[in-house]
Amino acid sequence: METLERILAEHQFFKDLAEPYLQLATGCASNIRFEPDQFIFREGEEADQFYLIRQGRVALQIFAPDRGAITIETLTEGDILGWSWLIPPYNWHFDARALEVTRAIALDGKCLRRKCEEDHNLGYELLKRFAHIIEQRLESTRLQILDIYGVRS
Amino acid sequence: MASAVDLHVKSPDDIVSSMSPHLYGIQRVRKETEDTFTLELQEKSGQHKLSFAPGQFNMVYVFGVGEVPISISGDPASPVLVHTTRAVGTVTRVMSKLRRGDMLGIRGPFGTAWPVAEARGHDVVIVAGGIGLAPLRPSLYEVLSHREDFGKVVLLYGTRTPSDILFREELEQWRARFDLEVHVTVDRADSGWRGNVGVVTTLIHKAPFDPQRTVAMVCGPEVMMRFAALELVKRGVSAGAISLSMERNMKCGIGLCGHCQFGPFFVCKDGPVFRYSRIKDLLTKWEI
Amino acid sequence: MPTTTLYRIERGAIDGIISSLRQQHYTVVGPTIRGASIELDELLSTSDLPVGWTNEQAPARYRLIKLPVESLFAYTVSPHSWKRHLFPPILRLFSARRNGRGFDLINSGEGAPGSSIPDAADAVRPYAFLGVRSCDLHALFMQDKVFGSGTYQDQYYQRTREQTWIIAVNCTLASGTCFCASMKTGPKASSGFDLALTEVITEHEHYFLVEIGSDRGRILLEGVDHRPAESAEATKGEELIENSSQQMGRSLDTENIREILYQSADHPRWDVVAARCLTCANCTMVCPTCFCTTMEDVIDLSGARAERLRKWDSCFTMDFSYIHGGSVRSSPRARYRHWLTHKLASWIDQFGTSGCVGCGRCITWCPVGIDITEEYRAIRETYVTNTASSSTKEANDGNA
């Protein structure tokens, strides 16, 4: 557990989080490994975890009958995967699939949610951190939509 | 060739000689993607010595059709002149149909260069979007030919789809090197693509370089460059250590026709490579 | 009191000057009536000048009016400026002939048989400009910098310019669109001429004061009847010039102009002016300093012979800023802003001076009468810095 706590403490997401909260997060954390093409979660399933990717590559996908699986974004080492556990009704909106052997730390969302409700200071800290990630994803999604490399005709 | 004149007896910088193209023959045509191609050119008369600095461009003339600015994409150390461009306008569409043995007119090289010399002793971060990899390739060649003079070298490259990736084989070779970090991403892909999906700017925050000792060179669509510069600054790279390559309409390439004005600058002579710190405020003004 | 030595000559001496220059194979170019306006064209004698004519100029208005006197220079600037003689509207830069799959450049001498388009490599025609107003003389100084101060120079311009005689005429009246006094470019020519004339017409007399500006100007003057001007005569000339300065109804305040315009890119006034602007490009064509050109690569019907023509261009066209996919300045607002900001602000960064001489042509020849001095004044009076805090804003508001 000591190693896990250190890994969390060094990660950008948990940076400067107060010691008790860090211990609390570590208590909800576990190591996990995904094989190539293994689904980490599927659209519609209950979202009760999020992942801190330590190694590997994960594709966020959506399946369309006429186009097959479309990759929206890939996440790699250092990225945080999943925020649906934080927002009701706590269901995944996309599929997440490991593209290669992927090692991650899974954090128990249910457990964290409960603790956030009990301690709003912790809740605010985590929301701030997720807001930052959501902002980044939104910005890059906007750039993707712009289709900046396309040629207008 | 009796009618050919040597216009170079006049001052080398006057309007006649600087507006008259030199004849270059196409030695090789390489189709890069659906709409981009690379031409390898050799000067015909042996009179025009084209030595260029990475980041500079030439005005390329198709007989009777017109002339367009195209950045040089080849190795500065090579005697062959290399241009990579996209068939998007009248001139480049005709150019895309040329074959080995056809000839083009060349004027140049013009404009400012990437700060490769200044990057010695520093980490080098190259951020390219789409066809923007072409004008950056010469600086990468130069860095790799003196690899020991530089710190970490990172190439971050984004395109629209996997089929738009330029210089594929070369990217694979670069990726295989241990002294070069190459990350490629695409904006959209089907499930056959195992690589990254997402805009190129998302690669910046996790790329391995030391922001305090980094020289960054960015080329791509203007919006992409703006956001890339913001991400680099967020990482701690100073605005003066970031260079961008600007694009504007150009007719003369020598600062006389007025077309390429960008605020107080003429992109053809004050650019195309600018320090981000110098043009930051202009970049966010509309229709400048 | 005038400090330089002035000479007095009569109208006949001006004819003497014209014929002397013509004998030396100069093409004397000056104001002459063509249709309903005064244009700059070849002069054979003073009778080709608009003798006894003046012009009335106002926003979008120009007309000639007959005077009851035999004046030679009682009008102001012509629609077109001198630039078309030094910087021709069309210039051939090269010709080439197809040779197999390539091409050869062709000697300028055999450039284009029968073509009236000047060739950039040709020997240039020596000109003598007669009747150059101080504003236009400053415009020549500005174009000297544009074409001759960079790494790449327009030697066609320079070769023509070097040979050109400048016989300036000091303005003794201002038209309704003049504002040279506030641009510090007139109404009196202070340097850069061979001779400078001031026309004096009183109840009893009609004479010209001459100031010498060069050695060849002195020699030219020595060839015609002249005598030192009496002090009263010289004073009369000064009064007339001063009078024209006082007459000027327009002005442009150039203090901090660059900073003000750079900070006003988002000023709402640009929308107001854009609602009137037809983006017709008239202002850029008549402007004596505008220098933008485009290149036209043309080919004959057989496909064997091609040439590159340099043509005047205007930043008011959509094509001007086109990069694959679209124009950078697609709105009239942006194009008007670019033109005015270039002329009055970025020109200073590029060439060290303003790009405006206050000749007023852009006001007269704008079909809807847009007035550059009025547009800039509207911005100046209401601009706020868009940099940072409210305290800077207040400080600047206080200064404005």
Question: How far off is chain A from B199, nearest CA to CA, in Å?
Answer: 6
Q: Is A149 on the interface with B (CB under 8 A)?
A: yes
- Which of B138-147, C93-102, C319-328 is most confident? B138-147
pLDDT-derived band of residue C386, with 50, 70 and 90 as boundaries?
A: low
User: Which pLDDT score, from 0 to 100, does residue B40 have?
Assistant: 97
Q: Is B4 on the interface with C (CB under 8 A)?
A: yes
Cβ separation of A57 and B201 shorter than 8 Å? no
User: Which pLDDT score, from 0 to 100, does residue B13 have?
Assistant: 65
C59 has a pLDDT exceeding 80: yes
For the segment C355-359, the average pLDDT, to the nearest whole number, is 98
Q: Is C204 on the interface with A (CB under 8 A)?
A: no
Q: In this structure, are residues C143 and C86 in contact, taking their beta carbons and an 8 Å threshold? A: yes
Question: How far off is chain B from A115, nearest CA to CA, in Å?
Answer: 30
B7 has a pLDDT exceeding 60: no
pLDDT tens for residues A59-118? 999 998 888 888 999 999 999 999 999 999 999 999 999 999 999 999 999 999 999 999
Quick one: closest CA in A to B198, which residue?
A: A73
CA torsion sign for A25, A28, A32, A34 is: negative
Cβ separation of C156 and B15 shorter than 8 Å? yes
Cβ separation of C326 and A153 shorter than 8 Å? no
User: Which pLDDT score, from 0 to 100, does residue B16 have?
Assistant: 80
Question: How far off is chain A from B106, nearest CA to CA, in Å?
Answer: 26
Q: In this structure, are residues C350 and B266 in contact, taking their beta carbons and an 8 Å threshold? A: yes
User: Which pLDDT score, from 0 to 100, does residue B243 have?
Assistant: 98
B144 has a pLDDT exceeding 90: yes
C393 has a pLDDT exceeding 60: no
User: Which pLDDT score, from 0 to 100, does residue C3 have?
Assistant: 58
User: Which pLDDT score, from 0 to 100, does residue B44 have?
Assistant: 85
C398 has a pLDDT exceeding 90: no
User: Which pLDDT score, from 0 to 100, does residue B9 have?
Assistant: 37
Buried/exposed code over B141-178 (b: 16+ C-beta within 10 A; e: otherwise) = bbbeeeeeebbbbbbbbbbbbbebbbbeeebeebeeee
Across chain C, mean pLDDT equals 92
| Chains with at least 3 CB pairs less than 8 angstroms from chain A | B, C
pLDDT tens for residues C215-227? 999 999 999 999 9
pLDDT-derived band of residue A150, with 50, 70 and 90 as boundaries?
A: confident
Of all residues in chain C, the percent with pLDDT exceeding 70 is 93
B45 has a pLDDT exceeding 90: no
SS3 readout for chain C: CCCCCEEEECHHHHHHHHHHHHHCCCEEEEEEEECCEEEEEECCCHHHCCCCEEEEEECCEEEEEECCCCCCCCCCCCCCCCHHHHCCCEEEEEEEEEECCEEEEECHHHCCCCCCCCECCCCCCCEEEEEECHHHHHHHHHHHHHHHCCCCECHHHHHHHHHCEEEEECCCCCCCCCCHHHHCCCCCCCCCCCEEEEEEECCCCEEEEEEECCHHHHHHHHCCCCEECCHHHHHHHHHHHHHHHHHCCCCCCCCCHHHHHHCCCCCCHHHHHHHHCCCCCHHHHHCCCCCCEEEEEEECCCCCEEEEEEEECCCCCCHHHEECCEECCCCHHHHHHHHHHHHHHHHHHHHCCCCCCCCCHHHHCCCCCCCHHHHHHHHHHHCCCCCCCHHHHHHHHHHC
Residues of B in contact with A139 (CB under 8 A): 227
State yes or no: ipTM above 0.85.
Answer: yes
User: Which pLDDT score, from 0 to 100, does residue C113 have?
Assistant: 65
Cβ separation of A151 and C326 shorter than 8 Å? no
Distance CA A96, CA A50 (A): 11
pLDDT tens for residues A36-74? 999 999 999 999 999 999 999 999 999 988 888 889 999
Question: How far off is chain C from A148, nearest CA to CA, in Å?
Answer: 11
pLDDT tens for residues C234-292? 999 999 999 999 999 999 999 999 999 999 999 999 999 999 999 999 999 999 999 99
C1 has a pLDDT exceeding 70: no
Cβ separation of B188 and A144 shorter than 8 Å? yes
User: Which pLDDT score, from 0 to 100, does residue B3 have?
Assistant: 35
Count how many residues are written for chain B. Answer: 288
User: Which pLDDT score, from 0 to 100, does residue C111 have?
Assistant: 52
Q: What are C322's strand-pairing partners? A: C327
Closest CB to A143 among B88, B159, B201: B201
User: Which pLDDT score, from 0 to 100, does residue C297 have?
Assistant: 95
B110 has a pLDDT exceeding 60: yes
Cβ separation of C324 and A153 shorter than 8 Å? no
User: Which pLDDT score, from 0 to 100, does residue A12 have?
Assistant: 86
For the segment C355-379, the average pLDDT, to the nearest whole number, is 98
- List, as ranges, residues 355-374 from C with C-beta within 8 Å of B: none
User: Which pLDDT score, from 0 to 100, does residue C294 have?
Assistant: 97
pLDDT tens for residues B53-96? 999 999 999 999 999 999 999 999 999 999 999 999 999 999 99
Question: For C37, phi and psi rounded to 5 degrees?
Answer: -145, 170
Q: What are C40's strand-pairing partners? A: C31
Closest CB to B64 among C152, C262, C299: C299
User: Which pLDDT score, from 0 to 100, does residue A68 have?
Assistant: 86
Residues of B in contact with A100 (CB under 8 A): 194
Distance CA A84, CA C222 (A): 96
Across chain B, mean pLDDT equals 93
Residues of B in contact with A144 (CB under 8 A): 187-188, 198-199
Closest CB to C294 among B11, B101, B251: B251
Residues of A in contact with B191 (CB under 8 A): 61, 68-71
Q: Is B252 on the interface with C (CB under 8 A)?
A: yes
Residues of C in contact with B19 (CB under 8 A): 93-94, 120, 295, 308, 310
Closest CB to C324 among B13, B23, B89: B89
pLDDT tens for residues C101-133? 999 998 665 556 677 898 888 877 899 999 999
For the segment A141-148, the average pLDDT, to the nearest whole number, is 90
Q: How many CB pairs under 8 A join B and C?
A: 164
Q: What is the pTM for the complete model shown?
A: 0.92
Q: Is B159 on the interface with A (CB under 8 A)?
A: yes
Cβ-proximal residues to B4 (8 Å cutoff; 6+ apart), any chain: C104, C105
Best of B86, B127, B197 to disrupt the A interface by mutation (most A CBs within 10 Å)? B197
Tell me the residue ranges of DSSP E strands in B33-188.
Answer: 36-43, 57-62, 66-71, 81-86, 103-110, 123-129, 153-159, 181-186
pLDDT tens for residues A15-31? 899 999 999 999 999 99
Cβ separation of A78 and B206 shorter than 8 Å? yes
Question: How far off is chain A from B77, nearest CA to CA, in Å?
Answer: 30
| List of domains in chain A | 4-150 (2.60.120.10)
User: Which pLDDT score, from 0 to 100, does residue B192 have?
Assistant: 82
